[in-house]
Amino acid sequence: MIRRITPWAASLVLLACGPGIVHVQAGPAPAAKAASRFLKPGELDASLIVPPPPAAGSPEAAAEIAELRALETTRTPQRLARAQHDAATENFTAIAEIFGPLIKLDRLPATARLFADLRIEDGLAAKAAKNFFRRPRPWEVDATLAADPAQADCDKGEPESSYPSGHAMMGYTAAGVLAQLMPGNAQFILKRASDYAESRLICSVHYRRDTEASHVLATALIAKLMTKPEFQAEFEAARAELTAAHIAP
């Protein structure tokens, strides 16, 4: 199920794309130590795009813990296996796999470059937000979730790095750009991103608000990147390549 962005989130995305935004100090991306090739300091500030996560001990936080406990008891072995697969695949192929062998980046250099650069951008944005909010992971808060043996294969992540989800950030960012390259398949691409984000809850390593924040921040990041001529050039090169390969219209 694809989750709709709430009105407050939509308004904050518009704010994120406006001028005069203060930059949150960014750390290195999970996949590569690099600076942004497209954004200047001051162009994307997670603290102005998403609200703070629920306070520890609040009813909202308790409800999120209760949801994770419920998912832990109702998930099927097949769904858990998919979540563990998703945890181990934090890159574009996790989204593109719905097309099977149709999209092979080793045969699509322009597309590969676009999504490699995009991975750096979403990694930087997620890391900066994690450093700012420093929300404890569910397994830090709830001993029963910490005891879940499935987390051994789910990439638990670092402590105090729950908000937003880096995996979900990658998935929503990659899916958002791929959906624009292949609009005829947008519904299936975005559904895959939503399912990929849900895997982080199935693994009990993120709260729902973590993945929702990732969705909003990914939307803001894409909107900002699409205003940059250098990124637009990479995007159009990928579109032309996919069109020539009869993969996208």
Looking up tokens 């009990």, which residue turns up? 204
At CB < 8 A and 24+ separation, what contacts does 19-28 make?
Answer: 21/45, 21/48, 22/48, 24/128, 24/129, 24/131, 24/132, 25/128, 25/131, 26/124, 26/125, 26/127, 26/128, 26/131, 27/124, 27/127, 27/128, 27/131, 28/123, 28/124, 28/127
CATH number at residue 94: 1.20.144.10
Residue 226 tokens read as 């699409």
Flag whether 28 is in a domain. no
- Number of residues that make up the chain: 249
**What does the mean pLDDT of the chain come to?**
88
> Looking at residue 150, what is its pLDDT?
84
Can you tell me the distance from the alpha carbon of 63 to that of 66, in angstroms, rounded to the nearest whole number?
A: 5
Q: What percent of the chain has pLDDT over 70?
A: 86
pLDDT of residue 7 exceeding 70: no
Tell me the per-residue pLDDT of 166-204, one tens digit each, with 9 for 90 and over.
Answer: 999 999 999 999 999 999 999 999 999 999 999 999 999
Query: In terms of C-beta density within 10 A (0-12 exposed, 13-18 middle, 19 or more buried), how is residue 103 classed?
Result: buried
pLDDT of residue 33 exceeding 70: no
Flag whether 46 is in a domain. no
For 28, 63, 76, 94, 214, the CA distances from 209, given in Å and listed in that order, are 23, 11, 23, 21, 8
Tell me the per-residue pLDDT of 40-85, one tens digit each, with 9 for 90 and over.
Answer: 887 999 999 999 999 999 999 999 999 999 999 999 999 999 999 9
Counting the structural domains of the chain, the total is 1
pLDDT of residue 126 exceeding 50: yes
Among 6-20, 39-53, 224-238, the range with the most confident prediction by mean pLDDT is 224-238
Q: Which of 154, 244, 220 is nearest to 14 (CA)?
A: 220
Q: What is the largest CA-CA distance in the chain?
A: 54
> Looking at residue 39, what is its pLDDT?
95
Given pLDDT bands bounded at 50, 70 and 90, which one contains residue 210?
Answer: very high
Flag whether 30 is in a domain. no
The rounded radius of gyration (Å) of the Cα atoms in the chain is 18
Flag whether 24 is in a domain. no
Range of the domain at 200: 66-244
pLDDT of residue 206 exceeding 90: yes
- More reliable by pLDDT, 90 or 249: 90
Flag whether 228 is in a domain. yes
Flag whether 200 is in a domain. yes
Flag whether 1 is in a domain. no
Tell me the per-residue pLDDT of 84-107, one tens digit each, with 9 for 90 and over.
Answer: 999 999 999 999 999 999 999 999
Q: Which of 221, 9, 193 is nearest to 128 (CA)?
A: 221
Residue 194 tokens read as 């939503």
Flag whether 220 is in a domain. yes
